[in-house]
Amino acid sequence: MNLLIMKFGGTSVGSAERIKNLKKLVVDERPKIVVLSAMSGTTNALVEISDYLIKNNKEGAITKIEELENKYRKTVEELFEKKEFKEKGHELVRQHFDFIRSFTTDMFTVHEEKIILAQGELLSTTLFHYHLNECQIPSVLLPALHFMRIDEHHEPDFAYIEKHLKEELSKHPGTKLFITQGYICRNAFGEIDNLKRGGSDYTASILGAVLKSPAVEIWTDIDGMHNNDPRFVSKTHPIHRLSFDEAAELAYFGAKILHPTCILPARNKNIPVWLKNTMQPEAHGTLISQFEPEDGFRAVAAKDNITAISIKSGRMLLAYGFLRAVFEIFERHKTPIDMITTSEVAVSLTIDDTSRLNEIQKELSEIATVEVDHDQSIICIVGKLPRNHAGYAAKVMNALKDIPLRMVSYGGSENNISVLLHSQYKVKALKLLNKHLFGYDEEI
């Protein structure tokens, strides 16, 4: 079928003007599925509305709903030319916002929250579809809730997705342009769920993998993966090529441009992923594929809200079962470990999901002394750092010599050096690395 996947993020559909601009990017001869996020700010607003409802603050929720609805009314007025399409647009907005308002009168749980969170992508895709209709550009809207599914472990159910997506596609032979929602899915019970914040990237990569697409293009508001986080350092440059492993590492450790696990499906099926800028389509962007990078540092990223756990036991001395006992506790509580360092009598590790921390801490305390530190950040330095070359770790340590480091991890792969530090030092550390590893003149 050879369908290209093009995903556009929140800012790329963030206003009527942007939506019109999008049309120019998707209308060409290549058959494709266009995956859209919600308009920028929408998912945050829907989270806020849900927070009000969870706290039983109906008035707060209603005010926020009205504010968001007005934004959509304005978009409809600006997006459509003809009366007929303006009416269709307003009717769509009315339906979705009446639906959202209906949750203000009843009990509200996380289940209802997920239904509310799904409205953003449903709105953006339908508005774009109507816009193409008005411009007489043929397109088909594919309902993601008919084929996107996660299993009981919250992992994509690839077999289900492939079967049901292909069924949906086969209903529209000859169609060149499909549109679908990113982020939203159903769970193992058939309920509406999502792929976590930023999940539209993940949708795109999953679709690319199940369809063996020629490429997945992720269009956003910046010209590709940069060497450092542009939100915190003043000078950065785009990286033209990244290997799958480098990109996966950067995404997982906080490079916001990509959802943490979205590279994995594309990597498993060897599908190239392009990161492109909607505002500057002619810029090269970043190509993520299977390739052998040159030696050296490529980029750094930071991940916040990390919790460090130190586990100390006299029994570890020569006790080969100790680490297993520790890992089993994390496994039982389905809590992934990100970083780990050991000494003869102690092990330190980090987690970012603290939902089971109390239980984990209690079980660890039965075999060891446990200390927990919150508000930590992992800084991940990615590149090709061959084991037989001297100096990479030294350069990183030298750059960060004035910052207290809680943990250091090197040698897990040839791809990364990670350090853990208190989040108050994060920005300073990113700036120092920008200066010492990439030669930028950062004010620290």
Please select the residue that binds ligand ASP; options are 89, 199, 254, 265, rule is CB under 6 A.
199
Contacts of residue 47, defined as CB under 8 A and 6 or more positions apart, other chains included, come to 117
Q: Which stretch binds ligand ADP (CB under 6 A): 88-96, 229-237, 312-320, 341-349?
A: 229-237
- What are the start-end ranges of the H helices in 171-321? 200-211, 244-252, 263-268
Report 1-20 residues binding ligand ASP (CB under 6 A).
Answer: 9-10
Nearest distance in Å: CB 365, ligand ASP: 36
Residue (181 or 415) nearer to ligand ASP, CB: 181
256 binds ligand ADP (CB under 6 A): yes
Residues paired with residue 4 on neighbouring β-strands, in sequence order: 32
220 binds ligand ADP (CB under 6 A): yes
- Residue with the two structure tokens 């994060």: 426
229 binds ligand ADP (CB under 6 A): yes
How many angstroms separate the CA atoms of 223 and 211, rounded?
26
How many angstroms separate the CA atoms of 257 and 201, rounded?
9
Strands (E), 190-295: 192-194, 216-220, 241-243, 273-277, 286-289
Residue type, 387: R
Q: Which does 249 bind (CB under 5 to 8 A by kind): Mg ion, ligand ASP, ligand ADP, none?
A: none
How many angstroms separate the CA atoms of 55 and 42, rounded?
20
Q: Which tokens is 180 given?
A: 């679908």
277 binds ligand ASP (CB under 6 A): no
How many angstroms separate the CA atoms of 381 and 365, rounded?
33
Q: Which stretch binds ligand ADP (CB under 6 A): 54-62, 224-232, 305-313, 320-328?
A: 224-232
In whole angstroms, how far apart are CA 357 and each of 331, 362, 363, 370, 427? 12, 8, 10, 12, 27
260 binds ligand ASP (CB under 6 A): no
156 binds ligand ASP (CB under 6 A): no
> Which one, of 180, 232, 144, 181, lies nearest residue 432 by Cα?
232
Nearest distance in Å: CB 7, ligand ASP: 8
Residue (251 or 437) nearer to Mg ion, CB: 251
Residue (199 or 383) nearer to ligand ASP, CB: 199
11 binds ligand ADP (CB under 6 A): yes
Residue (144 or 400) nearer to Mg ion, CB: 144
Report 25-44 residues binding ligand ADP (CB under 6 A).
Answer: 37
Q: Which does 120 bind (CB under 5 to 8 A by kind): Mg ion, ligand ASP, ligand ADP, none?
A: ligand ASP
Nearest distance in Å: CB 200, ligand ASP: 3
- How many residues are there in the chain? 444
- Residue with the two structure tokens 């939506």: 19
In whole angstroms, how far apart are CA 209 and each of 26, 31, 172, 305? 20, 16, 20, 31
Report 262-321 residues binding ligand ADP (CB under 6 A).
Answer: 299, 301
Residues that bind ligand ADP (CB under 6 A): 9-12, 37, 198, 220-222, 225-226, 229-231, 255-257, 299, 301
Residues that bind ligand ASP (CB under 6 A): 9-10, 37-38, 43, 120, 182-183, 197-201
